[in-house]
Structure formats: structure tokens, C-alpha cells
Amino acid sequence: MRLVLDTNVVAAGLLWQGPPNRLVEEAFDGKVELATSLALLVELEAILKRAKFARQIAKQSLSVAGLVLRYAELAQLVQPEPIAPVIVADPDDDHVLACALAA
């Protein structure tokens, strides 16, 4: 199964235990494939730079860049084609849909 995870799910999966972490662990174990795009990696980096994540990131003994790189190495990088706006309430989610179509 190939999955494209929303960046908030990725952040939770990299930093805490729970269902998002299980998805990331399944990918490390080769049970699922993850796909991402450059736009989603940039968004992930911006999310992880928020002050509310600083303490949890410090516990990982990795930097924000290190966590993003770890995820980038885990997921297949795809180049999505531009799509027409789909999610009017949250246009950033269109990046997720475009990535899923490319994957």
C-alpha cells in the first residue's frame, strides 16, 4: 500500500507514539510505502520549526533538518503536476492531493 501523509500526521508520527507513529514505523519496516513531494517536505520543515515542537524535537537528538531528512529518505519523492484548486477551505491540502495523484 502506498500512502501520502498530511504533514501534521508526519510531524506527529516522527515525534510521538500513536497511530501516526505506527504509520511511519510500518514504512520503516517495509510494510507500506510512503510518497511525498518537495512542497510537502518544505511544509513539514515549517511545521517542525514551530516553538511548540522544540522540546519534543530536542528529545529526538535530531534537528528539524535531520527529521525532515529522515522522512525524505523514508518516502519516495514524486513530482506532482499542478492541479486545479480542490479544497477551498485549506488550499495547502491540495499539495497532498496532487502528491497522491503523482504517487
State the DSSP code for 19.
H
User: Do 80 and 102 meet the contact criterion of CB atoms below 8 Å apart?
Assistant: yes
User: What is the CATH classification number for the domain harbouring 60?
Assistant: 3.40.50
The pLDDT > 90 percentage for the chain reads 80
Question: Residue 26 sits in which domain range?
Answer: 2-102
Provide the edge-to-edge strand list for the sheet that holds 2-3.
Answer: 2-3, 33-36, 76-77
Per-residue model confidence as pLDDT tens digits over 1-32? 999 999 999 999 999 999 999 999 999 999 99
Instruction: Give the count of domains, the chain.
Output: 1
- Name the residue with higher pLDDT: 88 or 10: 10
Helix (H, G, I), strand (E, B) or coil at 65: helix
Report residue 95 CA to chain centroid gap: 11
